[in-house]
Structure 1
Amino acid sequence: MLSGARGCLASALRQVRVPGAGRCLHGSRRRLRPDGSQQAQAPARDFDPGLLEFLVCPLSKKPLRYEASTNELINEELGIAYPIIDGIPNMIPQAARSTRQSEKQEDPEHH
């Protein structure tokens, strides 16, 4: 008796059509308002500089500086910059780039 009920339920669920079903929610870029109408989703978020109070470099544990022109968090001491993607800092050391000139451009008097 239970298996018969499962079969009926599964059949009924296959027949139900949900508007927008099968579309990726993240790709739609639309959001429903409480009244059911749609609005365009806000563009990617900017970094909140207030977070600098809580963030430190994972390598040196020192404070970071936000550089708006490159959208990065800079560690001056180590000479590295962490990218910010959609308002979220990527603080994985392997994702950081060097901000210093190459080591080959050292002072020639040291050779």
Structure 2
Amino acid sequence: MLSGARWRLASALRGTRAPPSAVARRCLHASGSRPLADRGKKSEELPRAFDPALLEFLVCPLSKKPLRYEASTNELINEELGIAYPIIDGIPNMIPQAARMTRQSKKQEEVEQR
């Protein structure tokens, strides 16, 4: 009885008479998530691409400097520190331990030049 009252209240607040499962399906569809029934199926989806518009908001967690997107390697580059953060399924992995060094240290460069 109480669950029916909750559903009616939620429907009135939403302005819809659709059952909660249909509302949840619409929300999942709009957000790009797959319903639970589809998750077990193999699909030929392409990996999500990185949105370069995010560069306006993203900064290096170490230096707080802007990052550059390198499409060929799918990484965010910090030129100052020589660090590249990987982008996995369209999501930047901004954990410093996961970053790759893009250049050698100055000591190594000096040894190689001799």
TM-score by length of structure 1 reads 0.60
Task: Find out whether 1:67 has 2:70 as its counterpart.
Answer: yes
Gaps of 5+ in 2: 1-35
Larger helix fraction of residues: 2
The aligned counterpart of 1:88 is 91
Higher CA-based Rg: 1
Matches within 5 A, 1:96-107: 96-101=99-104, 103=106, 105-107=108-110
Quote the residue 1:26 is aligned against: 39
Unaligned runs of 5+ residues in structure 1 are: 1-22, 31-39
Amino acid at match of 1:43: L
Higher strand share: 1
Counting matched residue pairs gives 78
Q: Calculate the aligned-residue CA RMSD, in Å.
A: 2.7
Task: Give the share of equivalent positions with the same residue, in percent.
Answer: 77
